[in-house]
């Protein structure tokens, strides 16, 4: 019995072992095939491709600066990258850079290669720095003194202000996320796309942010008539406020259309749908209305408009290169409370203000000193600007013109606008007397004379050129036809005479508009007429009394005569 069981176990082991042996051999046949009688050929292919190259900037556009034009690109799987600008030699480049260029057309070729090939991208673009002029010194750390003549230069921007020179002319017509920023006062961030070239007068090919925008303490202003293209939705921030619970004002009234985002650490953030003048004030308490606030409260709701006077309407200064002059300005506070003012200018490199922040006690005056300076390399020209005097509730501007003449000019220029032409209407004629004096001897000089009329923002309105022979002196009456569609306001006539690269100049302000009536004279005339009428009436009364009929019976009754 035991032998039978043992035999059975041995038999099962052989059966199972044989099955496994056959299975393994079958598997080997499936994997290898009959390797003893066949050979296998294996081909290995390694794939590769040339670099991927993208030229981002410049584009096939017109650019407004020759300084630091952004050269931006991306390159993938490139062993070597180089470029060729116009007819210059090849130059290697590894990362985006800035390039300086000259006026005119340029062709930029960008190359990249690796062991699998070479690729090229190229673009033709243009540099024309007088094609469109942008005046935005208020939002730069430096001034572009000669930008009126198409010589814009790069300056560091204030805060987050948009650098327009980073963009082409075409891109400026579709600009998003535009920012105007003065970190000391406020910020404007536009929430819509803006075409900065499409202002009230697109044909003038300029944008004047200096004249038509203002950011100062507790005040943001955009002239939406002159800049309708900036009349867009925006987020505004007012800095350094001291209110506990501020409310937003538009043109001095509570702005119901404004949406406040928050007020933190003296910064008020709110959204607007369009532009005018925005500011803030303390929200009145529930126990008092705005009309119940006393006039002696400093900066509270209901306080009367702040009233201060400047003893000058305009300042005109003439400097030679390397010359310094000073001017005093007196500011009078006519309020019943003390007045805090900030003073700022868009002529910072040529003008130093002795005090930028002042406090004037009620009914008192304070004098500040203005120092004007022209550097030795300052370009002879006229520089138009202003001083902004800003309080919490009011702002005034003091227009300034600075003439810079050559240090060694051989002649002098004088200009006089007759009294009857100090006020002219659009479409009328302006007449000025221009005199030139030869300071270099008796030799006749052929002098090139430019006549330029500018508005108070520095924009050229009219420009004419003459050549005048000056032996000792020359005097002419020059007539200018004022354009019929010109805006009313202050303008300046600038005469620049050039000989042998030396410049002498003169200027004078005038007004385009109706001459104001002299109300004081009218009042005096009315008083004189009334006095004369009174005298005439009294004389008639006296004369009538002398001619009065005397009754005989009345005289007898009074005893003056006896009855016959």
Per-residue pLDDT, 341: 87
pLDDT of residue 238: 96
Pairing of strands 62-63, 117-127: parallel
Q: The domain 133-284: what is its CATH number? A: 3.30.1610.10
DSSP annotation string for 20-50: HHHHHHHHHHHHH--TTT------------P
The helix or strand, by DSSP H or E, that contains position 497, with its residue range, turns out to be strand 489-499
Would you place residue 286 in the very low, low, confident or very high pLDDT band (cuts 50, 70, 90)? Answer: low
**Ranges of each domain in the chain:** 52-127, 133-284, 304-407, 408-516, 519-564
What pLDDT is stored for residue 30 in this prediction? 42
Q: CA 425, 224, 343, 141: dihedral to nearest 10 degrees?
A: -110
Contact between 26 and 91 (Cβ < 8 Å): no
Residues 560 and 246: their CA atoms lie apart, in Å, by 90
Ramachandran sector of residue 265 (left: φ over 0; alpha: ψ -120 to 50; beta: rest): left
pLDDT of amino acid 439: 82
CA distance 315 to 345: 13
| pLDDT at residue 465 is higher than 80 | yes
Provide CB contacts within 8 A for 182, sequence distance 6+: 138, 139, 158, 159, 161, 215, 216
Q: What is the pTM of this model?
A: 0.50
In angstroms, the CA 468 to CA 466 distance is 6
Q: How far is CA 68 from CA 34, 121, 155, in A?
A: 73, 21, 11
User: For residues 41 and 182, what is the distance between their CA atoms, to the nearest angstrom?
Assistant: 75
Q: Tell me which residue of 101, 144, 154 sits closest to 124, measured CA to CA.
A: 101
Write the burial class of residue 238 (CB in 10 Å: 0-12 exposed, 13-18 middle, 19+ buried): buried
CATH classification of 408-516, choosing from 3.40.50.300, 2.60.40.3880, 3.40.50.170, 2.40.50.140? 2.60.40.3880
DSSP 8-state symbol, 285: P
Does position 32 have pLDDT exceeding 70, yes or no? no
Listed range (329-338, 439-448, 483-492) with the worst mean pLDDT: 439-448
Asked whether the beta carbons of 475 and 495 are under 8 A apart, the reply is no
181 Cβ neighbours under 8 A, 6+ residues apart? 139, 157, 158, 159, 160, 161, 187, 188, 215
E strands in 51-129: 52-57, 62-63, 69-76, 80-85, 91-92, 97-99, 104-114, 117-127
- pLDDT classification of 175: cutoffs 50, 70, 90: very high
Categorize the per-residue pLDDT at 24 as very low, low, confident or very high, splitting at 50, 70 and 90.
very low
Is 518's pLDDT higher than 70?
A: no
List the strands of the sheet with 97-99, edge to edge. Answer: 52-57, 69-76, 97-99
**pLDDT (tens digit per residue) in 483-517:** 988 889 999 999 999 988 899 999 999 999 988 76
Contact by Cβ (8 Å): 234, 189: yes
Are domains 52-127 and 408-516 of this chain identical in fold? yes
Q: What is the pLDDT of residues 191-233, one digit of tens each?
A: 999 999 999 998 889 999 988 999 999 999 999 989 999 999 9
Higher pLDDT, 97 or 23: 97
Going from the C-alpha of 319 to that of each of 344, 401, 506, the distances in angstroms are: 21, 11, 11
For residue 299 the two structure tokens come to 């900066």
Contact 75, 38 (CB under 8 A): no
State the pLDDT confidence band at 40, using cuts at 50, 70 and 90. very low
Q: Which fold has domain 304-407?
A: Immunoglobulin-like (2.60.40)
Q: How confident is the model at residue 57 (pLDDT cuts 50, 70, 90)?
A: very high
Instruction: Pick left, alpha or beta for residue 117 (phi over 0 → left; psi -120 to 50 → alpha; otherwise beta).
Output: left
297's tokens:
């409260």
Confidence of residue 28 (pLDDT cuts 50, 70, 90): very low
What local confidence, expressed as pLDDT, does residue 267 receive?
Answer: 94
Q: Stretch 18-38: mean pLDDT, rounded?
A: 44
Residue 181 and residue 159 in contact, taking contact as beta carbons nearer than 8 Å: yes
Average pLDDT on 362-373 reads: 93
CB 82 within 8 A of CB 93: yes
Q: What is the pLDDT of residue 548?
A: 56
* Predicted local distance difference test score (pLDDT) of residue 545: 62
Residue 156 has φ and ψ, to the nearest 5°, of -60, 135
Structure token pair of residue 55: 């030229």
What is the CATH superfamily name and number for domain 52-127?
Answer: Immunoglobulins (2.60.40.10)
Q: Which of 531, 529, 442, 453 is nearest to 487 (CA)?
A: 453
**Which two structure tokens, joined as six digits, stand for 105?**
């057309």
For residue 201, how many other CB atoms are within 10 A of its CB?
12
User: How confident is the model over 516-541, as a mean pLDDT?
Assistant: 78
Region of poorest pLDDT, from 200-204, 336-340, 346-350, 460-464:
346-350
C-alpha to C-alpha distances, 428 to 424, 480, 484, nearest whole angstrom = 6, 9, 8
- Residue 429, strand partner residues: 481
Residues, the chain, total?
A: 564
pLDDT for the residue 298: 38
Give per-residue pLDDT as tens, 88-138: 999 999 999 999 989 899 999 999 999 999 999 999 999 998 889 998 888
Residue 66 has pLDDT above 50, yes or no: yes
């Amino acid at each position: 019995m035991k032998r039978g069981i043992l035999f059975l176990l041995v038999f099962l082991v052989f059966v199972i072992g044989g099955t496994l042996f056959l299975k393994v051999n079958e598997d080997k046949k499936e994997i290898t095939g009959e390797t003893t009688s066949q050979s296998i050929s294996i081909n290995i292919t390694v794939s590769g491709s040339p670099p991927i190259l993208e030229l981002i900037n410049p584009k096939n556009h017109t650019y407004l600066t020759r300084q630091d034009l952004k050269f931006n690109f991306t390159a993938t799987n490139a062993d070597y990258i180089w470029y060729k600008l116009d007819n210059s030699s090849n130059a290697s480049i590894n990362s985006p850079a800035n390039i300086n260029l000259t006026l005119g057309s340029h062709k930029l070729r960008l190359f990249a290669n690796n062991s699998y090939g070479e690729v090229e991208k190229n673009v033709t673009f243009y540099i024309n720095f007088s094609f469109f002029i942008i005046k935005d010194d208020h939002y730069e750390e430096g001034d572009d003194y000669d930008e009126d003549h198409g010589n814009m230069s790069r300056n560091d921007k204030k805060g987050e202000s948009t650098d327009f020179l980073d963009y082409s002319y075409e891109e400026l017509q579709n600009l998003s996320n535009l920012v105007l920023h003065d970190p000391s006062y406020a910020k404007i961030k536009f929430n819509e796309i803006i075409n900065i070239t499409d202002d009230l007068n697109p044909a003038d090919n300029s944008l004047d942010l200096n004249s038509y925008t203002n950011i100062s303490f507790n005040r943001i202003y955009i002239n939406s008539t002159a800049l309708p293209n900036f009349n867009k939705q925006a987020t505004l921030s007012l800095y350094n406020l001291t209110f506990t619970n501020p409310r937003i004002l538009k043109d001095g009234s509570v702005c119901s259309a404004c949406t406040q985002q928050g007020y933190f650490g003296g910064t008020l953030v709110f959204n607007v749908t369009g532009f005018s003048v925005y500011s803030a004030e303390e929200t009145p308490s529930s126990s008092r209305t705005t009309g119940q606030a006393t006039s002696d409260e400093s900066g509270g709701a209901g306080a009367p408009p702040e009233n201060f006077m400047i003893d000058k309407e305009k300042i005109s200064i003439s400097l030679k290169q390397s010359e310094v002059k000073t001017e005093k300005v007196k500011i009078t506070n006519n309020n019943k409370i003390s007045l805090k003012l900030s003073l700022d200018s868009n002529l910072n490199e040529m003008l130093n203000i002795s005090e930028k922040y002042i406090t004037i006690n009620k009914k008192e005056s304070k004098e500040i000193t203005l120092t004007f300076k022209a550097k030795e390399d300052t370009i002879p020209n006229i520089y138009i600007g202003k001083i902004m005097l800003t309080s919490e509730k009011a702002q005034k501007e003091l227009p300034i013109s600075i003439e810079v003449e050559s240090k060694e000019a051989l002649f002098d220029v004088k200009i006089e606008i007759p009294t009857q032409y100090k006020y002219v209407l659009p479409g009328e004629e302006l007449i000025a007397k221009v005199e030139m004096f030869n300071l270099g001897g008796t030799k006749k000089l052929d002098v090139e004379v430019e006549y330029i009329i500018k508005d108070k923002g520095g924009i050229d309105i009219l420009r004419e050129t003459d050549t005048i022979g000056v032996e000792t002196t020359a005097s002419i009456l020059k007539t200018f036809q004022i354009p019929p569609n010109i805006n009313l306001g202050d303008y300046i006539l600038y005469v620049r005479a050039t000989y042998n690269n030396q410049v002498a100049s003169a200027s004078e302000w005038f007004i385009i508009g109706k001459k104001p009536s002299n109300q004081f004279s009218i009042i005096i005339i009315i008083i004189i007429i009334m006095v004369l009428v009174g005298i005439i009436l009294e004389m008639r009364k006296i004369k009538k009394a002398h001619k009065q009929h005397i009754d005989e019976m009345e005289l007898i009754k009074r005893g003056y005569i006896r009855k016959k």
